[in-house]
Amino acid sequence: MIVADHISKYFNCIEAVRDVSFRVGEGETMVLLGTSGCGKTTTLKMLNRLIEATSGRVEILGKNIAGEKPELLRRSIGYVSQNNGLFPHFTVAENIAVVPKLLGWKAADIRQQTRRLLEQLKLPSDSPEKYPAELSGGQQQRVAIARALIADPPVLLLDEPFGALDPVTRASVRGDFAELPALKQKTIVLVTHDVQEALEMGDHIGLMDQGSIVQWGTAGDLLFRPVNEFVRSFFDEQRFLLELKIIPLRQIIHLLPASKRTYQHYLTTDRNLWDALEMLSAHQLDEVTVRDADGRARSLTLADIQRFYNQAKQQHNG
């Protein structure tokens, strides 16, 4: 779906991106992760020709983008820029309608689709008439996401779409975003410096440093098999939390005994070992109940969590 083949970018003499290559398959989410200034935005913008690569090639949907008109290319790729990029003198409705109008949609269709998306993204019903400055930062980011999604492009490029938000709002906007039905089949490249966000959302993650991808792989690859000290230390601060978070209860439920008691608090199998640990400590429990897909209850103790965690580490290292 997306192929970046040895792309580099020089700004005058400064090499902002050096020899970056990756592939994103249909329906996959790839995350570009890294500290400020490492070249994430530059890499992303080379995919829709907001920045022209100095060398290398990019293919989208099997076509070399160098041969396509930038304006046409950008109509088929949804894009949320780092600072949301809304036009301040356009209302929310006008902002969202930019691409549909270029595509010649009927006004009634644009209105209907806009209303549906704003609803899905939990924006108030009076927001279409408002100007961006009359909305909160989180609402503005939801509008930017709606604008990127309205024409239903198969590819989405998102540059820190949940940035500039406090952690609580960030998690809630991210949750609403992840649940959007329109999102399921999209091929997404997401830029973030938030490690948890990267691990939660990325099928594959490229960790960048000084213009290069240092390591490319799944969350498990980066956490358990770092290629060098930089990758190891990048995750060290939150290592234990992250490692527990990437082990879903679904993976271990069949190993748990049936629960004898019924509990008020329980977890579903889409949650992870970290959630279980949090629930144990928040309610000072000896065990938590995990419900499988058929509603049967199984019991999980702190000793189990430790055991599964150690097993996962050994498996990855072996």
Ligand X SMILES: Nc1ncnc2c1ncn2[C@@H]1O[C@H](COP(=O)(O)OP(=O)(O)OP(=O)(O)O)[C@@H](O)[C@H]1O
Task: Give the footprint of ligand X on this chain (CB under 6 A).
Answer: 11, 14, 16, 34, 36-42, 82, 193
Q: Which does 29 bind (CB under 5 to 8 A by kind): Mg ion, ligand X, none?
A: none
C-alpha–C-alpha distance, residues 103 and 106, integer Å = 9
Least distance to ligand X, CB of residue 72, Å? 24
DSSP state of 272: B
Least distance to ligand X, CB of residue 10, Å? 9
Which runs of consecutive H residues, i.e. helices, occur in the chain? 40-47, 70-75, 92-102, 107-120, 137-149, 167-179, 195-201, 219-224, 229-236, 239-245, 273-282, 302-317
Cβ-based nearer residue to ligand X, 16 or 190: 16
Cβ-based nearer residue to ligand X, 11 or 240: 11
Can you tell me whether residue 267 is helix, strand or coil?
A: strand
Name which of 192, 101, 96, 181 is nearest 142 in CA terms: 96
Cβ-based nearer residue to Mg ion, 44 or 312: 44
Cβ-based nearer residue to Mg ion, 139 or 192: 192
Q: Which residue in 29, 41, 141, 215 binds Mg ion (CB under 5 A)?
A: 41
Hey, what amino acid is at 20? V
Least distance to Mg ion, CB of residue 210, Å? 14
Least distance to Mg ion, CB of residue 41, Å? 3
Could you give the count of Cα atoms lying within 13 Å of 304 in the half-sphere of its Cβ?
23
Cβ-based nearer residue to Mg ion, 7 or 305: 7
Can you tell me whether residue 54 is helix, strand or coil?
A: coil
According to CB under 5 A, which residues from 74 to 103 bind Mg ion?
82
Binding site for Mg ion (CB under 5 A): 41, 82
